[in-house]
Amino acid sequence: MKIAQFQDIHRAYKKGVDVLAGVSFGVGPGEIVALLGRNGAGKTTLIRIAMGMMEAQTGSVRVFGLDPRKDAVEVKRRVGYVSEDQILPPFLKVSQVVELHRGLFPTWDDDLARRLGARFAIDPEAKIKTLSKGQARQVALLCAVAHRPELLILDEPAGGLDPAARREFLETSIRLLNESGTSILFSSHYMSDVERMADRVVMLEGGRVLIDSALDDLRESYSLALITAGPEVTRERLLGLAGCLAVRQRAGSLHAIFQLDPEEAREVLDSALGIGDMRTTSIALEEMFIELLGGHGVEATGGPP
């Protein structure tokens, strides 16, 4: 059974403007799934729907097979949640915030909370408002994981953190996953974190799932071809080739993404168009994000030659 399952989720904020226009995917046991997309792609909306904080207009979401709206208490007890814009009560002490959460979760693990507290080295007597951004996020993480959730949902958890704090956050998440078999659903704009952590990547665009793939497959079966544009070599012709997913024009050259490995892409280009001047490479997630989601259609070809 899937830990979380989204089925054909639709959600519009304004009538006729769909943020989510039929999104389906699942998170399996022990799996780490990264939710990617540009700002406004609907990642946070989707996460809020999973948390029962918002409702889908049509479609269904199940977490542990339960409905996050109808079985809100049960679902919340088994989920840990941290978001970038989460606000902890500023005038409470760290110890009071921890105590507050402790009371909410029957499965709270005092020993784990103590270990994390010691590891983060945050003064329990400090008021939340005196903490740095990184420390406040660590308190939020402690509160989100000390009940050993079966699913950890992180909405841009690393936003605004320095690289050391980010790494520490990831380490804590991995350790929790190891100890408790927790599944993780997270959204992030840090592609190096995603490359490091994710088993599977779900890329949202235009309210739909553009890509839902194991990260390793994405890395091994996609490639980027850089080609010099010419009268015979146009965006349209490339888009007509087998395996070509997207083409961007960048001043005089064309960037084409193929769902083929680099050697295969080279062969397709060579045999179809007889292109000699090109480079095909495997593609890191960051480039794939930019090529697939970074603006559509033909870009201005102006600028210095």
Partner 1 sequence: MQLHIVPGGELPIYRQIMHQITDAIAGGRLSRGDKLPSQRDLAEQLVISPLTVKKAYDELEREGVIETRRGRGTFIDAAAEAVDPARQRRRLRGDVRRLLIQAHLAGVPLADVRRLLSEVAKEIQAERRGV
- Which residues contact partner 1 by CB under 8 A? 30-32, 167, 170-171, 174-175, 177-178, 191-193, 195-199, 215-216, 219-220, 282, 284-286
* Of 77 and 115, CB closest to partner 1: 115
State which residue, 116 or 170, has the beta carbon closest to partner 1.
Answer: 170
Nearer to partner 1, 9 or 283 (CB): 283
Smallest separation, CB 184 to partner 1 (Å): 9
What minimum distance in Å lies between the beta carbon of 19 and partner 1? 29
CB of residue 164 to partner 1, shortest distance in Å: 12
Which DSSP letter does residue 199 get?
S
Residue 279 beta carbon to partner 1: minimum distance, rounded to whole angstroms:
10
99 vs 171, which CB is nearer to partner 1? 171
Task: For the CB of residue 180, give the shortest distance to partner 1 in the complex, in Å.
Answer: 12
Whether residue 155 contacts residue 47, with contact meaning beta carbons closer than 8 Å, is answered with: yes
- Across 51-87, b (16+ Cβ under 10 Å) vs e yields bbbbebeebebbbbeeebeebeeebbebbbbbbbeee
Q: In angstroms, what is the minimal distance from the CB of 254 to partner 1?
A: 21
Q: Looking at beta carbons only, is 198 or 204 nearer to partner 1?
A: 198
Residue 157: count of CB within 10 angstroms of its CB = 27
Nearer to partner 1, 124 or 163 (CB): 163
Per DSSP, the residues of 25-71 read: EEE-TT-EEEEE--TTSSHHHHHHHHTTSS--SEEEEEETTB-TTTT
CA atoms within 13 A on the CB side of 9: 28
As given in the structure block, the two tokens for residue 249 are: 């024009």
Among candidate residues 78, 47, 9, 64, the one with its CA nearest the CA of residue 187: 47
Name the residue among 265, 276, 261 with its Cα closest to residue 230. Answer: 276
